[in-house]
Amino acid sequence: MRRLFIASVALAALVAGPVLAQDDPMPVSIENAVADASRPEADRQLDANRHPAEVLLFAGVEPGWRIADLAAGSGYYSRVLSTAVGAEGHVYTMNPTWVAERFAETDAGLAAFAGERANMTHSSSAIEAFGDNVDGELDAVFMVLFYHDTAWDGTDRTAMNAAVFDALRPGGVYVVVDHRAVEGAGLTVVESLHRIEEAAVVEEITAAGFELDGSSDMLANPEDSREISPFDPSIRRQTDRFVLRFRKPE
């Protein structure tokens, strides 16, 4: 509990700091990625609440980057990242084995899309072993709306975060977005409400050797009570979400 308190204090200090400022203009590579006409209409309809351009800017994504999109689902971020990094970059998109099996049609659709792009590789495995399917060091790892699932699905999160750390180059970033739980909830509602306390994520990932490098409220929603499931129609796709950027030390 004391470590979680320390993580909460550190996060509060960071949120109050200038690291949140994003005054740089939006790179053309990111603008073009979001505007890509080949993106499915269903993805486009989610943009208003997911702010993909701002998330990629916050992560610092650049052409030529090599990125892993962990628990990619149908590939909402994988598609945008693939276009943003361009022909010189690469996106390793993966779904944990149980996700690929339970949502076989969705996973097959992502695999088919990856097969059409020279700069994408799709795989499914235990999430702790994603690095086995990655060739060379990564510039970034994304995990969007799934970290809470790793706290109830049997994932060894210590091994998972260590694998992310090992896969990244020095200075590489680990971006985590998730549904925010009420303060003090820790991991207690990860399965029942599919939410997780922000400080709990900070504690676990910094314990793996990462530095908390930035936090953004771009996906915050103060109207969300944080006490109902993200699947509840009253809050679906409008939850209060945190956006964290961790960095592997140089």
What is the structure's pLDDT at 89? 98
Q: Is the pLDDT of residue 6 over 60?
A: no
Distances (CA, A) of 162 to 118, 157, 165, 240, 245: 28, 8, 5, 28, 16
The pLDDT, as a whole number, for residue 123 is 97
**Euclidean distance between CA atoms 184 and 200, whole angstroms:** 9
pLDDT of 5 higher than 80: no
Q: How confident is the model at residue 26 (pLDDT cuts 50, 70, 90)?
A: very high
Contact predicate 38/205, CB 8 Å: no
* pLDDT given for residue 183 in this prediction: 95
Instruction: Of 36-40, 70-74, 116-120, 180-184, give the lowest mean pLDDT range.
Output: 36-40
In whole angstroms, how large is the CA radius of gyration of the chain? 17
Q: What is the pTM of this model?
A: 0.91
- For the chain, which domains are there? 2-247 (3.40.50.150)
- Nearest Cα neighbor of 190 from 229, 138, 234, 157 is 229
- What do you get for the CA distance between the two ends of the chain, in Å? 30
Q: What is the 3-state secondary structure (H, E, C) of the chain?
A: CHHHHHHHHHHHHHHCCHHHCCCCCCCHHHHHHHHCCCCCHHHHCCHHHHCHHHHHHHHCCCCCCEEEEECCCCCHHHHHHHHHHCCCCEEEEEEEHHHHHHCHHHHHHHHHHHHCCCCEEEEEECHHHHHHHCCCCEEEEEEECCHHHHCCCCCCHHHHHHHHHHHEEEEEEEEEEEEECCCCCCCCCCCCCCCECHHHHHHHHHHCCCEEEEEECCCCCCCCCCCCCCCCCCCCCCCCEEEEEEECCC
